[in-house]
Every structure is written in structure tokens, then in C-alpha cells.
Chains A and B, each alone.
Chain A
Amino acid sequence: MELIAKLGILADAAKYDASCASSGAPKRSSRGRDGLGATNGMGICHSYTPDGRCVSLLKVLLTNFCLYDCQYCVNRRTSNVPRARFTPEEVVRLTLDFYRRNCISGLFLSSGIIRSADYTMEQLIEVARLLREEHEFRGYIHLKTIPDADPLLIEQAGRLADRLSVNVELPTDESLKRLAPEKQGHTIRQAMGTIQRGQQAVAGEPRAPRFAPAGQSTQVIVGADETDDRTLLGNSESLYQGFGLKRVYYSAFSPIPDSPGSVPLAAPPLLREHRLYQADFLMRGYGYKAGELLSKAGNLDLDIDPKLAWALSNREVFPLDLNRAEPALLARIPGIGLRSVERLVALRRERRIRYDDLIQLRCVLDKARPFIVTSDYRPAQADLRSGLLRARLREPQAPVQMGLWG
């Protein structure tokens, strides 16, 4: 099979992995040296596809032959899809060609499970080794880690790659048993533990060889099973705390061709996915706890964002005086982001904050107005009930997701 035909099949097979980040790698440069590639911590999105997703890396499978039968996966062994397999040299050739053209910042390589977990992992490592050692490639490399692979192989991968990821895919052991019978929650967590120990071993040792310096991430599928957002966010929180994960990616389950009856054939729940990302960001960036964002079983509201939802159910905290409140509390005001908080704090060292300053800072005033006090403004609706406020602030629910499905 020609390279271009393989590329079509193996890119098509890889699109369900949400991550395409190329950020967080240490500073590397090829200036005046043989080889190719640089990283500086910042990711670059080299293109966007019409689904609005960033293209930062060449994201392909080494092969979409697979022994497993995960129901949500287009590449499961019972799926009727065309199959292909790259040689490691072919992936290297594509990576270097696309990189030279400035189409990508690196490679994200994953694979179906062939022969055994160890054999598959060895193949992934071989690609990274060829790139790093034979071609002196200093761009970004993200390797998918096969949970059941030998810990020694995972360590080898960590020395070559900037990021490793083990996908959780399904958030509960019951769902894994039902939909991904060959996978086990505890081996997934073991692999995460191996990666974390590899990172801890070199932490604080600037001369030690790097180990997955851009950290580890995972992906969880949203909407393939019945798991609610509260469980998802609780899981993410324990992954961040327990394994020091950099990111949890949420992937709205998108219907697959030749779909088995065990998974839905509905449009992907994109808005739900969006709310989960917002809530996840509030946990990582703003210090919210999962339990604060969803205090009882169920899903995040779709019609308002999770920060506004928190503010509406904690009205006793507001209104906050922008000239006096602690920065950490300012960050909890809907419509005012971390960057604006920084700027407000800088500004209030010079003079009193006025309402007009928020306009200049391009804060989302429709959301912020009921929750703030400035030197020249107090909210008139301070005593307005949360229910009315919510009705006023909810986002119009366009039936976009129905599309052709209605």
C-alpha cells in the first residue's frame, strides 16, 4: 500500500484522541546544529480543521490492527474498517517532512494493540528513538503508553518523549468491564504510577536525563456510557492529585461507523464536553474543588457556565468590592478572568477602581455586574433572587447540536 493511502487510514483512525497539545516541553534549539526541531514551552497550533480543533502535531496510529474489542473504538477487532500499518521509518519520514514545511510541531503517536502490549510499546519507542537519535529531532514527541506494557519500556519511552499519556477512556470500572473487556482500571493506574515515579526520580535534578518533561495526560470519553459529570470531575480531581497529571482531556463520544449496539449513535454532546473543560480549568487554574462545582449527583448545567453557576449558588460571598477583596476571591467573580484580576490589582495600586476600568479591561460586564462593587458603582439588583438572575444570564440554547438529526 502506498504511503499516502496508509496516511489516510491511520490519521482517520487517530482523530478520536482529543489531545494535540505541544506545550510544556523544555527549551531546545537546533540553531547552527545538525538535525531539526525546537521547543520553547509554548505550543503552536499550525492549522485548524473545520471542527474547530487545533492541528499541532502529526497525530497518527502506527497501526489500526487491534486485538482488543473496545466498543466505543472504531479500530476494535470486530469493526469493519480498512486496516493499515506504517513501518517506523515511514512515520519518521512523514514527521520530518511535515515539520520542515512548518505544518506541525511534532508527533503524537499511538497504536492499536498488535501481538502483545510489550511488542506494541517497543514499536512506538522505536519511532521515537529513530527520530531522536538517528535524525537528531528536537521537536515535540507525545507517545501513547500501553497500560499493560513492561514498566521498563515505559521508562524508555519517558526518556525519549516530551509527554506520555495513558487513556482512562471510561471513568468507572463497571463501564470498562462492559465496554472495554480487555482493559482494566488497575493496570491503567499502575502505568500512570510508573510514569509519575519516573518524573519524581529526576525532579530537582537539572543534570539528570529528562523524563517526559511535558508531563502526562489522559483522555476520558464523555457520553459513551451513563457516567455523570460529578463522577467525571471527581475522577479528574483524584488523577490530578494522585498522579500529578498535567491534563485530563474530555472527548465527547462521536458516533463511529459500523457502530455496535452497546454505544450511542447520537451526535456528540459537544456542549457538555465544553462545560467539562470549563469546570476542569476552574479546578486547575482557579483552585475550585470538584465538590464545589457539583455538590450533588448529576451533570453541569448546560445553559450557564460553571463559574456563574457557583456564584449564583453562593450569593452570600457577593457583591465583592474590587478595591478591597483578595485576588483569589476576585477570580471567582463571573466574567472576570485571571488576567483581568492581575490587571485590576496592578491598577488599584495606582488609584481606585472605577466601573469604566472594567470596560477598558474588556471584562464580561453582563455577567460581572450583579457581583461587584467599585468606587462609583453598586449593583442595583444586589437583592435580586438568584433564580431571576439566572434566567437573565442564561445562554440561549440554539438547537445546533441537533443539526441533521432532528
Chain B
Amino acid sequence: MIALDCDQQFSLWREQARALLGHGIDPADVTWAQGPMDDLLAVPAPLPEGPGPFRAKVPAALLAQLEQASRYCGEQRWNLLYEVLWRVAHGDRTAMLPGDRLGSELHRRIKQVSREAHHLHAFVRFVPLPAALAAQLQLDLVAYHQPAHDILESASGHFAERLGRQRWLIATDRDGIRFDGHTLDYRRHCPEPWRQWAQHADDPGADLWRTYYRHIFNPARLNPDAMRMHMPGRFWRHLPEGMLIPQLMGQARQGKQRDGQALEVAQQAGKRIGKARD
């Protein structure tokens, strides 16, 4: 059994996989894991040296698929990729198609990864820093986000497109990325000050957004399951509107379901501005 560690980096895994494939190492005889091997019966063997005799040809599209799937954090993260690569390299292209048992897992991972990138684009919330602090840190906007997969580096360019010359940073519990208006600075290990700035930014302006959220909700159409399906609960705590959700659901169930108006508007004096035509 060959035990490898690719430091969770696709480029490293790719080098290792190329050597393994060249030497004809069967997927059953190799494992990627961090730290000590968990298979007690396995005797560790080293990665064979040199490129090996077997010259594998695989479609270019496969590498892109493997790279995208490699961002998925979960069991058999790297082993699965090698199994797909092995089968396609030996002429079985169904391994990269969603109809196949292995291919369908590959595509499920690709889908989860792009869904998580989409979650980043949707649910990151930037907090604008006050002018003095912004000048001091050379930073206009900060955000804290907890993605389930390794998508921060590949998916963050989106914000440079959106925010023009604004300087921003996104910190997670693993990595971080910062934009100075020109270039992206990605760190696999988020510097502690970044995380501090992002997690402890004071945000008095968030009330405007919470007001909007509260009022655009239609209590007569209450449907929390649909909301949860699209916006999983794990994101709520980093959204400024997250704390309103239970409260709004409660109000809707306790009588506000009768019409669409928010309680705060119903309590204000109204104004008729014309008569009905008769």
C-alpha cells in the first residue's frame, strides 16, 4: 500500500497521480491521507520514482473535472479522483459520465463545489469599515464566511468584478483572500489579524438591510421549508438578517398570516388619498 499526502493541493496530487499511473499502480494499492495511516494492516510503500513506462492519454476535459471535484471536502477526497483517472486512462470513459456509479459521485462532487461557490457569491456579507479605520488598514470592506468546500480561491474573483476599486477581504476558518483594488492575495492559512477584523467589525448600518428584509417578506405566504432548501441554516449566523428569521416565522404563525402587510406598517396611521368611483 502506498500512502501519500498531497497537502490538500491539486497540483501536488496531479504530480503524484501521474507517477502512479505511469507505473500502473492500481487504485486499490494507494491511499491519500493526512497524518498516520488509519489502515493498520497496510504496510507503507514509497511512491515509485520516475515517470514509469505507461503513457496515459486522457481527454482534457477530465483534468478540469478532476480539479473542480478536488475542491470537495469529504471522505476519499483524493482516492476517488485517482480511481476515475485510472479507469478513463484504461479506456473506460463512462467513469467520467454521470450515469456511471463512480462518475455520478464525481459529478455530485462537482455540483456540490459549484453550489458552494454560488453560496459564496450569494451569502457573503461585507461590512463597510468606518473611514478612519479603512484608511489605516487600507481596506474598505470585510467579510467572514464559512464555506463547506475549498472554493475561496477559485470563486473570489467574482467580487473583484463586482466591487471595482474597493478594497476588501474575506476570512474563513481555514483560508483568506484580500483584494487591494488591483490584485488578489490568497492565503491558504488565514492571517489571524484578517480574521479578527472580519469577525469583529462593528456594523451600525446593517439596520437598513434588516428593515428591508423584514418588509419584503410576505407573511401570508409563509413557507420555511422552501427557504431552508435554498438557504441552509448553517449560513444564517453570518447573515445580518439571520436573527430575524425565527421571529418573522413566529409572527406569521401567530396571526400575521391573514394578509401580506408587516406588523410595523399595520401599526402606523394610514392615509386614503382619494375616493372610490361609484
Q: List chain A positions with a Cβ less than 8 A from chain B.
A: 3-4, 7-9, 11-12, 14-16, 29-38, 40, 44-55, 58-60, 65-67, 69, 74, 77-83, 94, 97-103, 139, 181, 252, 254-260, 267-268, 270, 343-344, 346-347, 350-351, 353, 357, 360-361, 403-404
A78 touches B126 (CB 8 A): no
Q: Which residues of A contact B97 (CB under 8 A)?
A: 343, 346-347, 350
Question: Bound complex: CA of A100 vs CA of B241, how far in Å?
Answer: 16
Q: Which residues of A contact B213 (CB under 8 A)?
A: 47, 49, 55
Q: A74-B261, A360-B101 are in contact. Are A82 and B268 (CB under 8 A)?
A: yes
Q: In the complex, what residue of chain B is closest to A59 when comparing beta carbons?
A: B216
Q: In the complex, what residue of chain A is closest to B256 when comparing beta carbons?
A: A404
Question: Bound complex: CA of A336 vs CA of B100, how far in Å?
Answer: 17
Q: Which residues of B contact A59 (CB under 8 A)?
A: 216
B162 touches A343 (CB 8 A): no
A8 touches B264 (CB 8 A): yes
A360 touches B218 (CB 8 A): no
B121 touches A44 (CB 8 A): yes
Q: Which residues of A contact B181 (CB under 8 A)?
A: 32
A82 touches B230 (CB 8 A): no
Q: A4-B207, A51-B221 are in contact. Are A344 and B164 (CB under 8 A)?
A: no
Q: A103-B125, A360-B100 are in contact. Are A38 and B272 (CB under 8 A)?
A: no
**A373 → B minimal CB distance (Å):** 17
Question: Bound complex: CA of A53 vs CA of B258, how far in Å?
Answer: 18
A254 touches B260 (CB 8 A): yes
**B151 → A minimal CB distance (Å):** 15
Max chain A CB contacts within 10 Å: which of B141, B218, B276?
B218
**B134 → A minimal CB distance (Å):** 12
B2-10, B29-37, B42-50, B245-253: which one contacts chain A?
A: B245-253
**A65 → B minimal CB distance (Å):** 6
B260 touches A48 (CB 8 A): no
B161 touches A48 (CB 8 A): no
B99 touches A255 (CB 8 A): no
Partner of A15, one of B98, B123, B215: B215
Q: A254-B220, A255-B258, A360-B99 are in contact. Are A45 and B122 (CB under 8 A)?
A: yes
Question: Can you list 16 contacts pairing A with B, beta carbon distance less than 8 Å?
Answer: A3-B208, A11-B215, A11-B216, A37-B162, A38-B158, A44-B122, A50-B249, A52-B229, A77-B274, A80-B270, A255-B259, A257-B259, A259-B259, A347-B99, A404-B253, A404-B255
A32 touches B165 (CB 8 A): yes
Count A/B pairs, Cβ under 8 Å: 241
| A-B residue pairs, 5 tightest by C-beta | A52-B226, A77-B274, A80-B270, A30-B164, A52-B223
A51 touches B98 (CB 8 A): no
Partner of B216, one of A49, A52, A267, A357: A49
B257 at the A interface (CB under 8 A): yes
B275 at the A interface (CB under 8 A): yes
B271 touches A81 (CB 8 A): yes
Question: Bound complex: CA of A1 vs CA of B210, how far in Å?
Answer: 18
B271 touches A8 (CB 8 A): no
Q: In the complex, what residue of chain B is closest to A343 when comparing beta carbons?
A: B98
B205 at the A interface (CB under 8 A): yes
B272 touches A77 (CB 8 A): yes
Partner of B208, one of A4, A38, A48, A353: A4
Q: A45-B230, A52-B230, A82-B271 are in contact. Are A361 and B99 (CB under 8 A)?
A: yes
Q: Which residues of A contact B212 (CB under 8 A)?
A: 7, 11, 58, 60, 94, 98
Question: Bound complex: CA of A101 vs CA of B122, how far in Å?
Answer: 11
Q: Which residues of B contact A350 (CB under 8 A)?
A: 93-94, 97
Q: Which residues of B contact A58 (CB under 8 A)?
A: 212
B182 at the A interface (CB under 8 A): yes
B124 touches A102 (CB 8 A): yes
B162 touches A38 (CB 8 A): yes
Max chain A CB contacts within 10 Å: which of B101, B128, B269, B273?
B273
Question: Bound complex: CA of A97 vs CA of B205, how far in Å?
Answer: 9
Q: Which residues of A contact B276 (CB under 8 A)?
A: 69, 78, 260
Q: In the complex, what residue of chain A is closest to B214 when comparing beta carbons?
A: A8
User: Known contacts A50-B252, A80-B270; can you find 17 more A-B pairs with CB under 8 A?
Assistant: A30-B163, A47-B231, A47-B239, A49-B213, A49-B218, A50-B223, A50-B248, A51-B218, A51-B226, A55-B216, A67-B274, A254-B259, A257-B260, A344-B99, A347-B100, A350-B97, A360-B101
B59 at the A interface (CB under 8 A): no
